[in-house]
Structure 1
Amino acid sequence: MINVPFSALEVAMVQTGTRAVDTLHDTTEFARRVDDLGYRRLWYAEHHHSPAIGAFPPVVLAAHAAALTSSIRLGSGGVLAPNHAPIMLAEQFGTLAALHGGRIDLGIGRGPGTFDEPTARALRRGAGPTTDDEYRDDVSATLRLLVEEVALDPLPEPWLLSSSTAGAALAAELGLPIAFAHHIRPDNTLAALEHYRENFTPSRWCARPRVLVCVETICADTDKEAAWLAGPMEVVKAELLKGRGDIPFPTPEEAAAHSFSPEDEQALAAFRAQQAYGSPETVAKQLADLVGVTRADELMLVTPVYTLADRLRSYELVQQHVMAPTTP
């Protein structure tokens, strides 16, 4: 058993052959179930213009889930600062936190949330990619406005999302807990977290370095079944590596028939080696090893599989066989 808190990331995959509204129904059931299972947080990721991922605003999903659950923390993982005015983020998440008893997290990220350039420009009202200084100013302004303008009680708990050393440096500078996207840039994880811990400056938000590591986790009854369930996302990843974000989320049967190039196979194998796929015994070892090398204070699991039933089964197996029992 692993004695750190476990959380969940919802990316709202839209399966081939279903409608986006079906995905919304699934997110509702998923929120209720992970709350019952004792996961600490459930965060929603911001995405746009993708056939495989629903374009559902994190603040709306968090508000909906908060009204349906009792103890799990809800929030963004992340809401993308360059796409939103700081005052709007402060007002939205400040209001949510006040309405829901301090159960709201504000996880802030930088990316555009889309591979489609016209969509990215539309989100930013015609502006180009944000600079380092603009991003720092946006995050700082959001934090300041939470305190000075919104001033509700309690405030949301802010986190900075990162997949690089640059993001880790900003989290350290601002004294924020860091949520590191190991499920996106695993090769950056250790160097970024080392930089974060060495350069951390305490703040009103966080007295010491706090590290959450997000890891792709697919747990099934056997290693073979987990590999089968991982197939659809492997198809999507192979296309993302080529800069294509317009690929639907296929069925496991379609994924099994997909032909990968040798370069794809090599890249996917390297990625799999740093995530957690397999039986409960396999996943327990992989996650324990990850906690050991990263010294993570918390793990967040993302499980992009085709059906809600298989996704819930993965979280249930982790809860039964990997998570240390929580104190009543």
Structure 2
Amino acid sequence: MPNRHVPVSILDLAPIVAGSTAADSFRNTLDLARHAEKWGYNRYWLAEHHNMPGIASSATSLVISHVAAGTQKIRVGSGGIMLPNHAPLVIAEQFGTLESLYPGRIDLGLGRAPGSDQRTMRALRRGLGSDGNDFPEMVRELQSYFNPEQGDGVPGVRAVPGEGFDIPIWLLGSSGFSAQLAGQLGLPFAFASHFAPDYLLPALEIYRTNFRPSDTLQEPYAMVGLNVFAADTEEEARRLRTSHQMQFLNLIRGRTGQLGPPVDNMDELWSDHERAIVLQQLSYTAAGSSDNVREQVLRVLEETGADELIVTSQIYDHQARLRSYEILADVMGLY
């Protein structure tokens, strides 16, 4: 158990595993969320992705509502909403609706990436000149719909529901851009080290150095992403991890698909060069039995000084996925 209490949260990519459907994914998501609540996890986030056959959470706000309706107290939110895909007013209304339905339990995590490819960006009706550089203006506009005194919204336009709600806004990122912006706006920051670890430590430094206290937050608050594959044996954990490795391997090969079953030997599937890329990009991973996972998690906490961890486990078998989160909750002293 860590020397300081560190909340642990879950990022659910709502995987559609090979041979299953989105409906199966949503049932598994709610089942995991109910277990996570029982095991003491802090929040349960879902991510916006599009045109990906293996991820079911494209209509992120709807899935958040599905999870919040089926749980009692765990915080539920987005990790994240890709704001450049949307009008800020629409997101204010959607999350105002969620907060009205599930008061005090909704988080709004924002990213500036498209969550997909260029063609899908156009299909989402993004302006051809929008490349994410207007993200700071979009964030401030969104904030103004919750708090009109900030004055950065469209005059005479109100978010109903939404106006007057204190919905926590997080900025998410994998570089220094959102880290600096989160610091300047005095917002909590979450880094996607579970798939983009290289810039983690510099981004945390940028965030903490640029942090300005706000009505939202008096001190910087950083959350770090981590892949976790915990099992009762080292061998089983290594095997479970291969589903995620294969998914990432396909991604760097330019292919997307459903999450496949684990394999015994990844060396039969990747080249030495591909292996190096995958292992580097997924280096923020804790895999093994309970003692090994505890040691790896503590190392990440010591290295980053994270105020909170958010973990994801792309595991093919739902029962094995539940067991992984149960082991982690135990080693982190969540319950």
What TM-score range do you get, normalising by the shorter chain?
over 0.9
Report what 1:155 is aligned to: 166
- Offset of residue 128 of structure 1: 4.7
1-side partners of 2:18 and 2:275: how far apart? Answer: 23
RMSD: 1.8
- Offset of residue 272 of structure 1: 4.6
Report what 2:153 is aligned to: none
Which amino acid is 1:179 matched to? A
State the Cα deviation string for residues 120-178 of structure 1 (Å, max 9, x = none): 1111345255242x111111111111112345554211100011111201111111100
- Offset of residue 297 of structure 1: 0.6
- Offset of residue 255 of structure 1: 7.5
- Conservation of the 8 A alpha-carbon contact between 1:101 and 1:154: no
1:207 aligns with 2:208: no
- Offset of residue 318 of structure 1: 0.8
Deviates more, 1:91-100 or 1:137-146: 91-100
- Conservation of the 8 A alpha-carbon contact between 1:80 and 1:111: yes
Could you list the runs of 5+ residues in structure 1 that have no partner in the other structure? none
State the Cα deviation string for residues 23-78 of structure 1 (Å, max 9, x = none): 11111111111111110000000011112212432211111111111110000000
Give the alignment of 1:1-328 within 5 angstroms.
Answer: 1-2=1-2, 3-115=5-117, 117-132=118-133, 134-148=134-148, 149-150=158-159, 152=163, 154-242=165-253, 244-253=254-263, 259-320=269-330, 322-325=331-334
Query: Kindly tell me: are residues 199 and 264 of structure 1, through their superposed partners in 2, closer, same or farther at Cα, counting changes over 3 Å?
Result: same
1-side partners of 2:255 and 2:141: how far apart? Answer: 31
Deviates more, 1:245-254 or 1:12-21: 245-254
Number of positions where the alignment pairs a residue of Structure 1 with one of Structure 2: 322
Which amino acid is 1:130 matched to? D
- Offset of residue 253 of structure 1: 3.8
- Offset of residue 254 of structure 1: 8.6
Query: Kindly tell me: are residues 247 and 220 of structure 1, through their superposed partners in 2, closer, same or farther at Cα, counting changes over 3 Å?
Result: same
- Conservation of the 8 A alpha-carbon contact between 2:197 and 2:282: no
State the Cα deviation string for residues 59-109 of structure 1 (Å, max 9, x = none): 111111111111100000000001110001111112212321211000000
- Offset of residue 256 of structure 1: 5.2
- Conservation of the 8 A alpha-carbon contact between 1:235 and 1:258: no
Deviates more, 1:281-290 or 1:50-59: 50-59
Higher helix share: 1
Q: What SS does structure 2 have at the residue aligned with 1:187? A: coil
1-side partners of 2:177 and 2:268: how far apart? Answer: 36
1-side partners of 2:80 and 2:99: how far apart? Answer: 16
1-side partners of 2:85 and 2:319: how far apart? Answer: 33
2-side partners of 1:48 and 1:258: how far apart? Answer: 30
- Offset of residue 279 of structure 1: 1.0
- Conservation of the 8 A alpha-carbon contact between 1:86 and 1:138: yes
Q: What SS does structure 1 have at the residue aligned with 2:242? A: helix
2-side partners of 1:129 and 1:218: how far apart? Answer: 37
Query: Kindly tell me: are residues 225 and 272 of structure 1, through their superposed partners in 2, closer, same or farther at Cα, counting changes over 3 Å?
Result: farther
- Offset of residue 204 of structure 1: 1.8
2-side partners of 1:140 and 1:286: how far apart? Answer: 38
1-side partners of 2:185 and 2:269: how far apart? Answer: 46
- Conservation of the 8 A alpha-carbon contact between 1:231 and 1:256: yes
1-side partners of 2:181 and 2:15: how far apart? Answer: 30
Q: What SS does structure 2 have at the residue aligned with 1:26? A: helix
Q: What SS does structure 2 have at the residue aligned with 1:218? A: strand
Query: Kindly tell me: are residues 144 and 239 of structure 1, through their superposed partners in 2, closer, same or farther at Cα, counting changes over 3 Å?
Result: same
